[in-house]
């Protein structure tokens, strides 16, 4: 049983942000939304823990 990690947990968050922006480069809105959805599903599959995923969904919906 895991708990969602919300404290900073990435060695190089700026590198991730840059890669995320690059992933969206030259995509229209529909393509960008589709690639986001695929990324979410891939990461959810990688996490694989429904409790953590539900925590993340709740957190994402309630945090500004």
pLDDT tens, per residue, the chain with 64 residues? 689 999 999 999 999 999 999 999 999 999 999 999 999 999 999 999 999 999 999 999 997 7
Return all residues near 10 (Cβ < 8 A) that are at least 6 apart: 16
Q: What are phi and psi of 50, to 5 degrees?
A: -60, -35
What does the pLDDT read at residue 50? 97
Burial 38-54 (b: 16+ CB within 10 A, else e): eeeeeeeeeeeeeebbe
Q: How is the chain split into domains, by residue range?
A: 27-58
Return all residues near 38 (Cβ < 8 A) that are at least 6 apart: none
Q: Are 22 and 35 in contact (CB under 8 A)?
A: no
């Amino acid at each position: 049983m895991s708990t969602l990690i919300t404290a900073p947990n990435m060695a190089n968050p700026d590198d991730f942000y840059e890669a995320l922006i690059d992933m969206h480069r030259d995509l229209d809105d529909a393509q960008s939304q589709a690639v986001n959805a695929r990324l979410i599903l891939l990461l959810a599959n990688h996490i694989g823990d429904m409790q953590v995923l539900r925590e993340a969904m709740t957190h994402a919906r309630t945090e500004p």
